[in-house]
């Protein structure tokens, strides 16, 4: 098995031996590949630009990923550029390919730098790849600068929020930590996941609440049939709607009666409901409030 270092060395040696292409020769190879799908032309075109791939990949070494993997991803971007290149536009292939090479390497870094996916928008990607450079530049400048001032300056430079800068800075300040990692080095130490608390109710509580809720809805539906039309309207709008419910004044205006009369009708309706529920089971009226 050949190690990654040996593979990288071979790539770099092969790239250094590849001849540079003159503009006319580069154009001719691009035309051959585009019009005739000449694999030999594609090989010569991409091999001549492997120096560019290696140079761009080297800019991303500080993310802690294998240089050989970065070069391979850059080569994928180079092939994508060759597939999309339009030689009739009279643009040098290296100028066009640079964007595709960089984009392929950046996507690889974002996928593999952390198990937590980040940098999904263009602004977030710009923040991820420029935060360290801008932070180092601000640190070198004369005069002390606070962290909040640094975050504000970086946010203004990249067009993102200061909160986004703070979150990304915290993420990039330390490595990922497994939830199965022990809290301390001692024998029998608890894992980090042991201290995670789920605020949601237990499954049996959830199922029980769902069953009870369905039964109560059925009970109430039957009991509401004892109310007349005006009583039912008042109870629905006061007690059975989401939020605070209608006010006595609003219902009085709607029904053409005083708010005190609305209160009296509501009280009578609730008593009728309780009586209907108690007639079936003695504990069914407990959820009808006053």
Query: 194: which DSSP letter?
Result: G
Write the CATH number of the domain with boundaries 205-287.
1.10.10.10
Whether 125 contacts 102, CB under 8 Å: no
> What local confidence, expressed as pLDDT, does residue 50 receive?
92
Here the tokens at position 222 are 């039957």
> What local confidence, expressed as pLDDT, does residue 1 receive?
39
> What local confidence, expressed as pLDDT, does residue 77 receive?
95
Here the tokens at position 146 are 């606070």
> What local confidence, expressed as pLDDT, does residue 290 receive?
45
The C-alpha atoms of residue 28 and residue 40 are separated, in whole angstroms, by 12
User: Rounded to 5 degrees, what angle do the CA atoms 99, 90, 40 make?
Assistant: 75
Here the tokens at position 235 are 């109870």
> What local confidence, expressed as pLDDT, does residue 24 receive?
92
Most distant CA pair in the chain: distance in Å?
98
pLDDT tens digits, residue range 4-57? 555 566 767 777 777 888 999 999 999 999 999 999 999 999 999 999 999 999
Residue spans per domain, the chain: 4-112, 122-172, 205-287
Alpha helices by DSSP H, listed for 141-285, are 147-158, 162-172, 203-223, 229-239, 248-255, 259-280
Write the CATH number of the domain with boundaries 4-112.
1.20.120.1810
* Residue numbers of the chain with a pLDDT score lower than 70: 1-9, 11, 114-121, 172-181, 184-189, 192, 280-290
The C-alpha atoms of residue 112 and residue 242 are separated, in whole angstroms, by 47
């Amino acid at each position: 098995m050949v190690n990654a270092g040996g593979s990288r060395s071979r790539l770099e040696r092969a790239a250094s031996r590849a001849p540079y292409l003159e503009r006319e020769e580069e154009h001719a190879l691009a035309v051959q590949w585009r019009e005739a799908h000449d694999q030999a032309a594609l090989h010569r075109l991409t091999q001549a630009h492997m120096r560019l791939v290696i140079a761009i990949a080297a800019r991303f070494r500080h993310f802690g990923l294998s240089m050989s993997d970065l070069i391979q991803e850059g080569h994928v971007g180079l092939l994508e550029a060759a597939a999309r290149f339009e030689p009739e536009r009279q643009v040098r292939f290296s100028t066009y390919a640079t964007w595709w090479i960089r984009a392929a390497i950046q996507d690889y870094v974002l996928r593999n730098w952390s198990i937590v996916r980040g940098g999904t928008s263009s602004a977030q990607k710009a923040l991820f790849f420029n935060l360290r450079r801008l932070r180092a530049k601000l640190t070198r400048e004369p005069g002390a600068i606070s962290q909040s001032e640094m975050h504000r300056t970086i946010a203004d430079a990249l067009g993102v929020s200061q909160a986004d800068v703070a979150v990304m800075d915290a993420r990039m300040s330390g490595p990922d930590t497994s939830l199965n990692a022990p809290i301390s080095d001692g024998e029998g130490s608890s894992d980090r996941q042991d201290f995670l608390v789920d605020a949601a109710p237990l499954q049996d509580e959830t199922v029980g609440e769902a069953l009870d809720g369905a039964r109560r809805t059925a009970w109430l539906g039957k009991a509401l049939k004892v109310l007349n039309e005006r009583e039912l309207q008042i109870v629905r709008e006061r007690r059975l709607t989401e939020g605070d419910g209608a006010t006595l004044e609003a219902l009085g205006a709607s029904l053409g009666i005083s708010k005190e009369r609305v209160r009296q009708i509501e009280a009578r309706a609730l008593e009728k409901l309780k009586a209907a529920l108690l007639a079936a089971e003695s504990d069914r009226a407990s959820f009808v409030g006053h």
